Amino acid sequence: MCFTLGVGLYSSRISLNVLGFEDYGLYDLVTGVVMVFSFLQSSLMVTSTRFFNLALSENNNSHLKDVFGSALYLHRQFALLLFLASETLGIWFLNYRLNISDTKLLEANILFQFSTLSLMFLVTQIPYQSIILAREKMLAFAYISVLEALLKLLVPVALIWVGNIQYKVAIYGGLVFSVGVIIRLIYRNYCRNEFQETRTTAVGNKDIVKKMRTFFGWDLYKKFSEILLVQGVKVNLNLFYGVIINSSVAIANQAQGGIAAFVNNFTSAIRPQTTQSFVTKEFKKLNAIIDQGTRIGFFLLYVVCVPVIFNAEFVFSLWLGNVPGFAVEFFKLGICAVLISVITYPVLMTIEASEKMKWMSFTCGTLNIIGLIAGYYLLKAGYPETTPFIIKIIIEAVFFVFYVLYLKKVVYYQFQIRHFLLKVILRIATVVICSVTLLYWFNNAVLDAESFFRLILNFAICLFTTVLLGFRKAEINYGFNLIILKLRQKR
């Protein structure tokens, strides 16, 4: 993951230098219009992984093969639906609603077509990704992710090699699409070689498809609102400040997404265990997963993020050289929102393991849409550019409270809120308060100038306080013993 993160961030730096602020902002804006329709992708991933986990828990290979064939059938249907939506609503919005100069409009439309095709390949790739996650083949998933990061690094390098050409952004989008096709073929070939259930055609079992569509429908509204909020922030800022500010949003999102990928991989690893524990009613194991998953997921992100937040100007200048305005501010606020949201992941995964998602999806989805509308009118009223990101932080805090109460009252009555708050959230709060206070004092009283040395010391302080205050004694001992064992094995 460290390697993938480093390659991804370096790739962003090269892309920004090759395209420039305006073209990089245009790329992020146009692909963002297509990504509005990718809300289906996120819901389909959750749906596929859940049904694969259920089939694996039954230990019935024939049924698992039927589930996979139904998933392929369903995903191809939705890929076609996304194509139609993009070519109608997407084209209209791109040409008549976004703030794009006439000289860039043709190039934006070409890029839009490549982005639409990329999304279709991404959707049809989901069943293969989901079965890898359900079977917990994380090493294969990691190798393919590394290869994808390296191929995406070659895209801006190729543009440097060809020099100054016309329609550079459109060509960039075409090369990214080519990478998507290659990765799609790799996922398919790996799965067909390793997993017998994937050697089937896209034929849907009527009963399975009906169940998958029902579950998918419950999650659809919430996922649509999430992607609408993320992409809507870009559109709102574009409407009031132009395409230049979209480069700042793109850079902030790239850095934020790269760091958050640490936790996404961790949560993907515990999702199968969460689903199977809930389905088989192993509540003691499920409680342990929620407890440890919440703390470890948060601390993984926290230890990486907090030193970067305290040294953001230095890190961004080191990374990009020339930093777009507001990129640092957007990044800091975005990371705060992610830190709050990561606390809810294991709780949310438990809710998704059940079939009681209707009111959760409706409530959270509506709140996201309200946040988007509020951001538009506040920007229109003259509030600063950071307003939509502050709204996102508030929404994530409300989600946390809602998810915990919903899990207890509707889904999982055995869930102990008091234990969760005292043993998990209080421990997290203690780490945050102590480490931030210590870092603030150190950076002001001891070493006030941002530098690489201060960044390393901040990381060490954050890691020390997290290990000391965030983990139980038995967990610390287990971690040290595991490290010693690994070191001995390498000798």
Does residue 163 sit within a domain?
yes
Angle subtended by helix axes 283-310 and 244-279, to nearest 10: 160
Report residue 1's pLDDT band, with 50, 70 and 90 as the boundaries: low
CA distance 137 to 135: 6
Which of residues 437 and 254 earns the better pLDDT score? 437
Quote the pLDDT of residue 28: 79
The two tokens of residue 192 are 């067909």
Helix, strand or coil, per DSSP, at residue 354: coil
Q: How far is CA 387 from CA 13, 305, 308, 313, in A?
A: 26, 21, 22, 20
Domain count along the chain: 1
Does residue 431 sit within a domain?
no
Please give the average per-residue pLDDT across 198-217, as a whole number.
82
Which of residues 216 and 295 earns the better pLDDT score? 295
The two tokens of residue 143 are 């190798």
Of these ranges, 180-189, 197-206, 274-283, the one predicted with the greatest mean pLDDT is: 180-189
Which pTM does this prediction carry? 0.76
Q: Across all residues in the chain, what is the average pLDDT?
A: 84
Does residue 140 sit within a domain?
yes
pLDDT digits (tens, 9 = 90+) for 281-306: 888 888 888 998 899 889 988 998 89
Does residue 105 sit within a domain?
yes
Quote the pLDDT of residue 480: 65
pLDDT digits (tens, 9 = 90+) for 71-129: 998 888 888 988 898 899 888 988 888 878 888 889 889 999 998 899 888 888 989 98
Does residue 23 sit within a domain?
yes
Does residue 457 sit within a domain?
no
Which of residues 394 and 490 earns the better pLDDT score? 394
Provide the total of helices (H) and of strands (E) in the chain, helices listed first: 19, 0
The domain of 20 spans 1-204
User: DSSP assignment, residue 101?
Assistant: -
Does residue 195 sit within a domain?
yes
Report residue 218's pLDDT band, with 50, 70 and 90 as the boundaries: confident
Does residue 118 sit within a domain?
yes
